[in-house]
């Protein structure tokens, strides 16, 4: 029981800290929380973390198959880049309208936020090499073993860690908006800037072959050595 709790804690801490840097999913969750509701943002987070947990499970038991899907992962990266650009553009458009209630055009849809979170998480391949790397470290240090109860504890911790990390953005963004006059309009400019910078960084990494696929191949090579 203590061993499983330790594995759970490792998954939670790694996931929580990994969710804190600004990224597409946590900033999108914050924007939904501000412009729609906390409940919608939580639905979005549940959808994204569910897919993340599935990816981790696949990385634990089917890493060889994942490694061979280079073309699919490359396509997913370009789709992700397109979505980030759309989010940046939508945020700038909403900010330019001068109306604090204006929403990002990409969020102007009837898709349930749970499924929106799942879709955006599913096409984001960055998490695959991230979790493959950390899982390899835990396997090497004998903290994690190829057992179902170990996997279940690890993945449960990851899910809760991601939820807590997103909650920091969701509730923090809501708190900030409630205390700053006209903050939603300003926040649209800030969020648009974050997405724009993220898009530029991702494009540069892809062009310089330092993207998720390259990281994944590098980690796989190190693991084989």
Dist CA 149 CA 135 (whole Å): 15
Question: What local confidence, expressed as pLDDT, does residue 181 receive?
Answer: 57
The structural domain count of the chain equals 1
**pLDDT given at position 84:** 80
Tokens of 220: 């796989």
Give the integer Cα–Cα distance in Å for 124 and 119: 9
Structure tokens at 68: 């061979």
- As to burial, measured by CB atoms within 10 angstroms (0-12 exposed, 13-18 middle, 19+ buried), residue 1 is exposed
As to burial, measured by CB atoms within 10 angstroms (0-12 exposed, 13-18 middle, 19+ buried), residue 164 is middle
Q: Name the nearest CA neighbour of 21 among 95, 114, 119, 126.
A: 126
pLDDT mean for each 10 residues of the chain (225 residues)? 91 92 85 88 94 87 63 74 81 71 63 91 78 84 88 94 94 80 69 83 77 52 46
Contact indicator for 200, 207 with CB cutoff of 8 Å: no
Question: Encoding tokens for residue 199?
Answer: 């898009």
Q: Dihedral of the CA atoms 27, 50, 216, 21 (nearest 10)?
A: 20
Q: What pLDDT does residue 154 have?
A: 94
What's the rounded Cα separation, in Å, for the pair 188 and 124?
23
What pLDDT does 187 receive?
75
Residue 137's pLDDT is: 85
Give the range of the structural domain holding residue 59, as residue numbers without chain letter.
Answer: 2-224
Q: Which residues contact 147 (CB under 8 A, 6 or more apart)?
A: none
């Amino acid at each position: 029981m203590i061993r499983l709790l330790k594995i759970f804690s490792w998954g939670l801490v790694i996931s929580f800290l990994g969710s804190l840097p600004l990224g597409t999913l946590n900033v999108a969750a914050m924007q939904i929380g501000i412009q729609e509701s906390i409940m919608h943002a939580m639905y979005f987070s549940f959808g994204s973390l569910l897919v993340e947990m599935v990816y981790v499970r696949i990385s634990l038991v089917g890493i060889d198959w994942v490694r061979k899907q280079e073309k699919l992962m490359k396509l997913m990266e370009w789709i992700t880049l397109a979505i980030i650009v759309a989010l940046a553009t939508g945020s700038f458009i909403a900010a330019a309208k001068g109306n604090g209630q204006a929403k990002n055009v990409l969020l102007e849809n009837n898709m349930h936020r749970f499924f929106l979170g799942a879709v955006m998480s599913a096409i984001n391949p960055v998490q695959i090499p991230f979790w493959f790397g950390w899982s390899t470290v835990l396997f090497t240090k004998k903290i994690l073993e190829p057992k179902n109860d170990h996997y279940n504890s690890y993945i449960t911790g990851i899910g809760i860690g991601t939820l807590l990390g997103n909650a920091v953005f969701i509730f923090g963004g809501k708190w900030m908006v409630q205390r700053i006059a006209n903050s939603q309009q300003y926040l649209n400019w800030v969020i648009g800037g974050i997405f724009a910078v993220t898009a530029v960084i991702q494009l540069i990494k892809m062009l310089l072959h330092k993207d998720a696929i390259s990281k994944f191949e590098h980690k796989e090579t190190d693991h084989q050595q």
